Amino acid sequence: MGETSVHQPEAAPKPDSNRLWDALGLGRRNIPGRYTLLLFLVLLMIVGEPMFAAHRVAQRLASISMSLVLLAALYTLNVSPAYFAIGLLVMLPAFVTRWALHWYRTPELEVFSALSASAFIFITVVGLVRELFSVKRVTLDTISAAICAYLLMGLGWGFLFAVVAIEHPGSFSRVLLVHSGSSPMFMSLHNFFYYSFVCLTTTGYGDIAPTSDPARALSVLESVTGQMYLAILIARLVSLEVAQSMLGRG
């Protein structure tokens, strides 16, 4: 009696993960894409700050936008326990003082609020750059992280320029800080963000010029930092793309 072979039905192949979803950097570990989310909120803040500048009530919306940026930035630091702990310690004062300035305002509190916000933003930038130099492939989220780091540098320097304007009145050729008992410092932040991005991109419109030594020093440092970042970033992304292409052919 011949042996009969029993053919077991082949197991259905496991469905591949969504390659497009993974290629965009929005995998399960990174839903909905922490850097893409941060980029959206940063752009919303940059656009929203000048729109809300002339309305005290609408400044609550600007504070909400700023708070969301801080929280989203803290979320990006979650990849490293050390960075997350440091970021949380610096972010909490920036978050609390931003809202406290709606009801209680002193020059010291405004300076502390701006410095803590700037410090947290630069910590986030360091975390983003660190991540850019550890990833092995370029995705949409990687590109979002690179853009976020660049835009956040502009915001961080903007806060520092606001501190200079408070501590050294007349540091700029135009009045950027509209400061009074009814107009807190953060209602003028859009002016400092504008000047900061002009320095960061070395556009040099010429409508605003630094007149004090601290303002000039910060302006030079930001311009140099912005150019160095772009040069190093492009080199890094190009090297990653070349590496991906070689692996794909191999």
**pLDDT for res 181:** 54
First to last CA, the chain: 51
In a domain, 10, yes or no: no
pLDDT of residue 97: 92
Any domain includes 116:
yes
Q: Environment class of residue 222 by beta-carbon count within 10 Å: exposed (0-12), middle (13-18) or buried (19+)?
A: buried
pLDDT given at position 73: 92
Looking at residue 227, what is its pLDDT?
92
Q: List the alpha helices (DSSP H) in 53-188.
A: 59-76, 81-100, 107-132, 140-167
CA angle 41, 186, 33 (to 5 degrees): 10
> Domain for residue 199, yes or no?
yes
Q: Are the CB atoms for 226 and 200 separated by under 8 Å?
A: yes
Count structural domains, the chain: 1
- Residue 231 inside a domain? The answer is yes
User: Is residue 7 one of the residues assigned to a domain?
Assistant: no
Considering only CA atoms, which of 105, 100, 115, 120 is closest in space to residue 163? 115
Q: Is residue 12 part of a domain?
A: no
Residue 11 lies in a domain: no
Specify the pLDDT at position 244: 67
Does this model's pTM top 0.85? My answer is no
For the chain (length 250 residues), average pLDDT per consecutive 10? 46 47 46 80 84 66 86 86 88 93 85 94 92 80 89 95 91 79 70 93 88 94 93 81 65
Map residue 5 onto helix, strand or coil.
coil
Domain range holding 156?
32-249
The CATH number assigned to the domain holding 217 equals: 1.10.287.70
On whether residue 14 sits in a domain, the answer given is: no
Distances (CA, A) of 169 to 61, 154, 161, 191, 215: 28, 21, 11, 15, 11
| Count of Cβ atoms closer than 10 Å to residue 80 Cβ | 14
DSSP 212-233: SHHHHHHHHHHHHHHHHHHHHH
